[in-house]
Amino acid sequence: MAQGVTIAGTGSYLPEKILTNDDLSKFVETSDEWIVTRTGIKERRIAGEGESTSHLGSKAGQKALEQAGIAAEDLDLIIVATITPDTLTPATACYVQQQLGATKAVAFDISAACSGFLYAMKIAKRMIESGAFHNALIIGAEKRSASVNWEDRPTCVLFGDGAGAAVLRASKEGEGRILATDIGTDGKQTHLLNIPGGGSACPITINNAGEGLATLAMLGKEVFKHAVTRMKNSANFVIERAGLEPDDIAIVIPHQANLRIIDAIASRLAVPNDRVFVNLHKYGNTSAAAIAIALDEAHREGKMKRGDNVVMVAFGAGLTWAAAAIEW
């Protein structure tokens, strides 16, 4: 029987600078009422000068390590989920390894957009179960402000910067464990949500630098439809695989993208809203960091106790989706 894997610690980091809806309305044709009604977002955090994705991730990772009681030099594996890497190469995880002093850790990135943290969780869980690694630090970190088109009202109001992290290790007697995970992809829908420029298909050159090709493009209505369906199916898969019923779930932590999506998921999972964790209003959509930050906040606020069942579910560009059921 495969060894169980537990979440030994969590951490998060949010930059100090707060950008409110009223602040946004000073340079974008929008208003607090317009944004809140359509998204549920009231403010978001913006990274400071000199703060890159790796800095955000390292600070979240350090908190998770401290809570887990694991020294950085004893880390075996670091996986960073991000779509806003410090550099195209090396991986942002390499910078995190350096900043933490995790000298023996294998470090690499994954790119699965808003689903990335749960992708990282599944990968790390499998690698620990195999016996290849004793522990892992998984991080979702984004500096979304670096790839937002601040002139595009439908998208620029949505995103914020931040990072969240979790330490995974083999579970001990009496500890909780990750019960089930699910990940999926539909590459036929790449056009619905993407950053078209900056890669090998469309390099940014002196001729196209002013066209905003390295910023996010989204077909919002189509994304909403796919998000609700895929998140519902993925969450139901892990709930069933873990042998749970809706009444067994203490808390659902969904991707923090849009309050309408969150409400739709809660309704379809038959889980009351008071058991659905939401911090979207404070941070906006932090992409791969969103679920990781929410998990840490829920944990530190005492929203789950030992033995509680927690379900996390996400959806992002790709299209990608992922879910996890955890006994805390």
What is d(CA 290, CA 302) in angstroms, rounded to the nearest whole number? 18
Is 299 one of the annotated active-site residues of the chain?
A: no
- Catalytic pick from 135, 279, 285, 309? 285
User: Among positive and negative, which fits the CA dihedral 168, 172, 177, 179?
Assistant: positive
**What is the full DSSP assignment across 242-301?**
TT--GGGEEEEEE--S-HHHHHHHHHHTT--GGGB---HHHH-B-TTHHHHHHHHHHHHT
- Catalytic pick from 255, 258, 279, 299? 255
Of 260, 219, 263, 249, give the one whose Cα is nearest residue 324.
249
What is d(CA 194, CA 54) in angstroms, rounded to the nearest whole number? 22
User: Among positive and negative, which fits the CA dihedral 195, 200, 206, 208?
Assistant: negative
Strands 43-46 and 17-20: antiparallel
What secondary structure letter does DSSP report for 2?
A: P
Of 253, 66, 92, 250, give the one whose Cα is nearest residue 163.
92
Is 255 one of the annotated active-site residues of the chain?
A: yes
- Catalytic pick from 21, 55, 94, 114? 114
CA atoms within 13 A on the CB side of 117: 36
What is d(CA 149, CA 151) in angstroms, rounded to the nearest whole number? 5
Is 156 one of the annotated active-site residues of the chain?
A: no
Distances (CA, A) of 56 to 25, 163, 169: 27, 6, 23
Amino acid sitting at position 52: S
**What is the full DSSP assignment across 136-173?**
EEEEEEEEGGGG--TT-HHHHTTB-EEEEEEEEEE--T
What is d(CA 173, CA 307) in angstroms, rounded to the nearest whole number? 13
Catalytic residues: 114, 255, 285
